[in-house]
Amino acid sequence: MSVMTASSQPRVLVTGAAGRVGSRFAEFAAGRYRLRLSDRPQADMSALHAYGEVVSADLTDPDAMTALCSDVDTVVHLAGEPRPDAGWDTLLPSNVIGAYNVFEAAAGAGCRRLVFASSVHAVVGYPEDKQIRVTDPVNPATLYGVTKCFGEALGRYYGEQRGISVIALRIGAYQTRESALTIRGERIDHVYISPRDLNQLLVRAIEFDGDGFLMVNATSENSIQHLDLTEARTVLGYAPVDGFVDGRLHAE
């Protein structure tokens, strides 16, 4: 993947930019795009100023989302309540109302694409020994997973009915090498994805030359793959370099 020149760099809005995924992607992509980095007003975004324009905004404020999406080519929507055990009162503002506000603002502003961070939790109700295709029905086991299913449905609606290209990434267990090696009591080797691999996939989603709606699974090159990567590989050209191989982690 070649780096674009300054004159050709699209403006990319990243919501949830102060979070685990967003902050690492901002650092990775700062030289490639003109970044607009946003998170909730109470988030610490001081480290993000080195990577682009920084704007505080609340997902539940439609006017703020409209302003964020102005003059933007692609929205990478990473923001939302991230805890799988969160209750409905916590999930509703960010993961349902906020997701709608972002999709609606992006479509209304004429953005070319929205990349939505979905989650393996949309299908975590399936047995671990089943390989899940993107064509399999959703199967959440938590209300958090239900909100990710809602976001995927929003993506299909906006991608097929509202004229904005939408790519939903069903992200597995996102962990740095250090954190992956310290996890105890929770199996992640079949759904692991490294920051390096997700950064690559986000870039490929941003720069994909297509329209409509696309769903892809997002994990690293694990020898046991709970999420099938066919669409990520064949449509987006994704080539993961990290992963769990025979139970051993290979990653930076």
User: Which residues are tagged catalytic?
Assistant: 144
Does 161 reside within a domain? Answer: yes
Place of tokens 């990710």: 148
Euclidean distance between CA atoms 159 and 179, whole angstroms: 35
Based on the structure, what is the number of domains in the chain? 1
User: Alpha-carbon dihedral of residues 144, 22, 106, 236, nearest 10 degrees?
Assistant: -90
Does 249 reside within a domain? Answer: no
CATH number, domain containing residue 147: 3.40.50.720
Euclidean distance between CA atoms 232 and 250, whole angstroms: 20
Does 1 reside within a domain? Answer: no
Contact 91, 144 (CB under 8 A): yes
The fraction of the chain above a pLDDT of 90, given in percent, is 90
Does 18 reside within a domain? Answer: yes
Euclidean distance between CA atoms 173 and 171, whole angstroms: 7
R_g over Cα of the chain: 17
Does 250 reside within a domain? Answer: no
Instruction: Sort 188 into a burial class: Cβ within 10 Å, 0-12 / 13-18 / 19+.
Output: buried
Does 77 reside within a domain? Answer: yes
Does 15 reside within a domain? Answer: yes
For the stretch 121-135, pLDDT in tens is: 999 999 999 999 999
Using the predicted structure, report yes or no on whether residue 1 has a pLDDT greater than 90: no
For the stretch 192-220, pLDDT in tens is: 999 999 999 999 999 999 999 999 999 99
Contact 238, 148 (CB under 8 A): no
Average pLDDT for the chain: 95
Per-residue pLDDT, averaged over 59-78, amounts to: 98
The pLDDT score that the predictor gives to residue 185 is: 67
The pLDDT score that the predictor gives to residue 8 is: 76
The pLDDT score that the predictor gives to residue 50 is: 98
Tokens for 197? 């691999």
Length of the chain: 252
Domain assignment of residue 154, given as a range: 6-244
Tokens for 9? 């760099």
Tokens for 42? 């109470």
The pLDDT score that the predictor gives to residue 6 is: 55
Does 251 reside within a domain? Answer: no
